[in-house]
Amino acid sequence: MFIGYFTERPYQDQQSGYFGAAGRDITDLGLSNEAYDPRLGAELYNRYLDEKVYAEEMGFDGLMLNEHHSTPFCMGSVMNVEAAILARITKKAKIVLLGNVLPIWDDPMWLAEELAEIDMISRGRLVTGWVRGTGRESVAHNAQPPFNWERFQEAHDFIVKTWTTPGPFRWEGEHYHYRYVNPWARPYQQPHPPIWIPGVLSRNTVEWTAKHRYPYVMLATELEPTKKSYEYYAQVAKEHGYEAGSQHRGYLFKVHVDETEELAEAAGRKYIQGPSNPFLEGNQGNVRPFIQNLPGLTSRTNLLPTVSSFALASSRGRQQAHEQAKGQASGDEQDKGDFLGTYEEQTEKMSIISGTPKTVIPKVRHVLETLRPGSIFFWDGDGAMTHEDSMRSLRLMGEEVIPAVREIGKELDLQSPFEVDPATNKPVETGSQN
């Protein structure tokens, strides 16, 4: 089993009351960067890097980074910079990028070179992942939504060819054109770093990922819909001549551990406070449905029935966003609770797991028994959680939770892509870079 650590790295301006006290609009793409304090940003970047170094010390196998743009809920707009720093200051943990937004790159060869350099600096610890991005990213980088899926696939094919085919060669595609492809930097891992694909709801992406035999990492989705997504992956896999196993399944979910149940609840409630993920917005802001659902960005007829804190484009999310927008337009006072329900509702259905090790471990076991993923990521330190909240949780995870989860993984025979190669379904040789 592979166990990773993740946080959105939110911009936590507590002095301003997370913007709300100042009367500012924190609605997605509605907050001017005039509110940004670079000195506070510097402290936060270094805080989150320190926490990831400590996560490695506490025994996490991987440090997951993600990328969002022009929003305070995630400071990772250039996560490859963070990855390059972690490549140098960490020693053992995999650096898992889930993921770079491929369609907004006008020069994917530059991305191929960046990732190759990170892989080399880390001496082969990069796990690269690519996403299509949301409407936010398309707007922020002037990317045309109708070409999002085409550009994603072509950029993927180009980067893989760049990493695996000796140059120079020429590339004449639909969206990318190169007269001369011969980047001097090549990945440390051969033929290339592992590729994992994160997602939530697109049948197209699940099908495409299964065809490529890449691990698919579900992002904070509810348990039953997640099972259905894995079942669809397995169905596609069987159609393409192989059996999908735990090495093809990854899962990100919110887990916070603390010294007492009282501390755990107080910290757990912070998931939906502050500039938290707008899909999980608590009482601080909203997404704009017309931004998240730009015409041509997502097929509305090819969605999996998956409910997620990332999945605003689901029918439920769209409807709630629509109703919320109507209420705001008419001036109605209403609860801005997140799309997944209140804190109590989310803990009830294990969208948030928070407690002492004694109460958290059985819940994690239930998740593992239900979904059987070979790779998991604990999403912690988010929303309004402080550095102290994060460090307490990381310490207790290292001391009690991670050892117990490893034993559960062995008991359930949950094998990661570093134990069973998802491309061949054969055991990975000891010492293999991939």
The predicted-structure confidence for 49-87, as pLDDT tens digits, reads as follows: 999 999 999 999 999 999 988 888 889 999 999 999 999
3-state DSSP call for residue 24?
A: coil
Written as six digits, the tokens of 355 are: 């407690």
| Apex 276 CA angle, 66 and 352, nearest 5 | 90
pLDDT range class, residue 353, cuts 50, 70, 90: very high
pLDDT over 60 (residue 154): yes
Beta strands 94-101 and 126-131 are parallel
Nearest-10 Cα torsion for 144, 146, 152, 158: -80
- Least trusted range by pLDDT, from 188-202, 294-308, 354-368: 294-308
- Least trusted range by pLDDT, from 115-119, 151-155, 312-316, 353-357: 312-316
Q: Which helix (H) or strand (E) holds 177?
A: strand 177-181
Q: Which helix (H) or strand (E) holds 97?
A: strand 94-101
3-state DSSP call for residue 197?
A: strand
3-state DSSP call for residue 137?
A: helix
pLDDT of residue 324: 38
pLDDT range class, residue 311, cuts 50, 70, 90: very low
Burial degree of 342 (CB within 10 A; 0-12, 13-18, 19+): middle
pLDDT, tens digit (0-9, with 9 covering 90-100), for 210-242: 999 999 999 999 999 999 999 999 999 999 999
Beta carbons of 77 and 127 less than 8 angstroms apart? no
Q: In sequence order, what are the residues at sequence separation of 6 or more whose Cβ sits closer than 8 angstroms to the Cβ of residue 330?
A: none
Burial degree of 23 (CB within 10 A; 0-12, 13-18, 19+): exposed
pLDDT of residue 294: 76
Q: Which of 304, 301, 300 is nearest to 233 (CA)?
A: 304
pLDDT range class, residue 272, cuts 50, 70, 90: confident
pLDDT over 80 (residue 176): yes
For residue 273, count other CB atoms closer than 10 A to its CB.
17
**Residue scoring higher pLDDT (380 or 21):** 380
Residue with tokens 């990975």: 428
Q: Which helix (H) or strand (E) holds 127?
A: strand 126-131
Written as six digits, the tokens of 225 are: 């819909």
pLDDT range class, residue 288, cuts 50, 70, 90: low
